[in-house]
Structure formats: structure tokens, C-alpha cells
Amino acid sequence: MNKRLRELLKRPGYRYLLIGGSVYALEVAVIIIAQQLGASGTVAVGIAFWVGLVISFILQKVVTFGDKRTHHRILLPQIVAFSLLVLFNFSFTILVTSLISPPVPAAISRTIALGITTIWNFYLYKTRIFKSGDNVIY
């Protein structure tokens, strides 16, 4: 790995985007496969959302923010906070998809919703959910 890339990967923002981009690619693949199997755009986006969710939680916690704490007093409140954020994000994503799909393809509507939620997610992960010390949720 070249020096520039190693330096970039030391920053949580770049790791966040790299992991998020990878999970996004997985979600798009799930949307396409689900639609080929007969799912509607909204159902396909819903399935992709939940698949990406589990993978994203683990990778963002451990890789992006370096939070390897697994004690139940830390992990359970993180899961609760993450779950509440996910429910909000899921509702927002389905709303966006329902409002603009069709004529906008499901993968595009998911991309729009993801772009919006990415911003507030990074802030909340960094400052509340995966942060140790003062001003955390647990």
C-alpha cells in the first residue's frame, strides 16, 4: 500500500467513506438481485437496507472508529442508539423511495437517501455512539 493511501486510511472520515462505499455497492447488488427475483423497488430497497445495516454496524464500530469495546455495558447502549438511528434512517429511506420511485429507479432513490443519511450518521457515530469519554450516550 502506498504511503499516501496509508495516511488517508488513518483518518476516520476516509475509512467511513470507504466502508460506506463498499456497503453501498453490496446494497445496490442486493437491490438488483431482489428486483430480478420479482421484488418491487420499495421491497428491494428495504431488503438491501437491512443487509447493509448489520455489516455496516460491525465495520464502522471496529474499523472506522476503532471501538473494540464489547462489554455489555457499552455494547448494549450502542446497539440501542444505533437501532434508533437505523429506524429513523430506514423510515427516511422508504419515504424517499416511495415519493420518487417510479419514475426514479430504486437504486437511484436509495443513493439519494444514503447520501443524505451519511452526513448525519458520521456526526452521530463520531460524537455520540462510538465515542468514549464525556458526552456519550452511555
- pLDDT digit string (tens) for 31-79? 999 999 999 988 998 899 889 988 988 899 999 988 888 888 988 999 8
Q: In the structure, what pLDDT confidence band is assigned to residue 138 with cuts at 50, 70 and 90?
A: very low
Residue 137 has pLDDT above 80, yes or no: no
Question: Percent of the chain, pLDDT > 90?
Answer: 50
Q: How buried is 109 (Cβ within 10 angstroms: 0-12 exposed, 13-18 middle, 19+ buried)?
A: buried
pLDDT at res. 1:
62
3-state secondary structure of 103: coil
Which residues are within 8 A (CB) of 61 and not within 5 positions of it... i.e. 6 or more apart?
A: 67, 78, 130
